[in-house]
Every structure is written in structure tokens, then in C-alpha cells.
Amino acid sequence: MANTNRLKIVINQLKDLTAQESVIFNLFHTNSTIDKVIDMLRKSTSTILATELRTHVQYKVKFADVLYLDYVDRNVCLYTKDASFWVKTSFVKLFTQLPSHFVQISKNNAVNIYEVQAVETNIGGNLIIKLSTDEKLVVSRRYIKNFKAFLIDQA
């Protein structure tokens, strides 16, 4: 009898930059984990037109590259590893467009859960999250319960 607990993963790196990337699943059936992976893959190419803060040039920014968002002065700031961008929109409107791996951590902030490296508690009862860039963000007390539930759901 075959061992159905093992999953064979094959990755072929394309050399031709003009080739289109693709993902092929050979499955007997899907499950919630596979559904999440498919959803993540579909949304990883989603973009938003945003203005770079230093140069004021507009770029298509992939949501997958965004570390976190911050709502300041009626603009949403998008932070990536390499640059910062802004979009003139409401936080609520943009938050509804975000892929499912973003979670709101305060009234004006949301974070890409895949960029969270560590979580710690401070004396005031807030959570401090450390990102892959070593930046730290505060999860306000009002959003802690939702944040923890989101972490459990993503596990």
C-alpha cells in the first residue's frame, strides 16, 4: 500500500525570463491547506498602483511585497523591504482589497502575516510583533484577540 502521507514537491526554475510561471497540482482531492495555498498563489500577483514616497513616481506594487500598511493623513502608506509608497484612499477601502494574509493590528495599521517573525507582550498589555526586517509594530489591545485568532487560523 502506498504511503499517502508523503507529498512530492518538484520545483523547476525557469531560465527563460519570457516564459510564463505556472503552478500545477496533481491531487486526489483538495483540503483547507491546499485551498489556502491556491488562494495565496492567486493573490500573490495582485497589485496596486502606488506612488513612491521619495521620487513621487507611480509603480505597480505587489501586495505580496508589502510588509505592512499605515494610515496617515488620509493616505495609506505601504512599506516594502526596499521602499515606501502611498495611496490616496481610505484605510477601510484598501483593507477590503487586501489578500487574506493581511490582518489589522490597530485602527490605522495592518500587517502581512507572512512577514511576522516573532510576537512578544509588553507591560501595557499590547503585543509587539517583529517583522522580517527587524522592524517592530504594536498590536493594540483592541485587536489582540483578532490577531491571535488569525495566527491560529493560519497555522
Summarised one tens digit per residue, pLDDT across range 74-103 is: 999 999 999 999 999 999 999 988 888 899
What pTM does this model have? Answer: 0.74
In 3D space, the residue among 48, 72, 77 whose CA is nearest the CA of residue 60 turns out to be: 48
Q: Tell me what pLDDT residue 41 has.
A: 75
Q: Tell me what pLDDT residue 44 has.
A: 66
Round to whole Å and give the CA distance between 155 and 99: 17
Q: Tell me what pLDDT residue 19 has.
A: 76
Q: Which helix (H) or strand (E) holds 147?
A: helix 141-154
CATH number of 32-153, picked from 3.30.1330.90, 1.10.15.40, 2.40.50.1020, 3.40.50.2300 = 2.40.50.1020
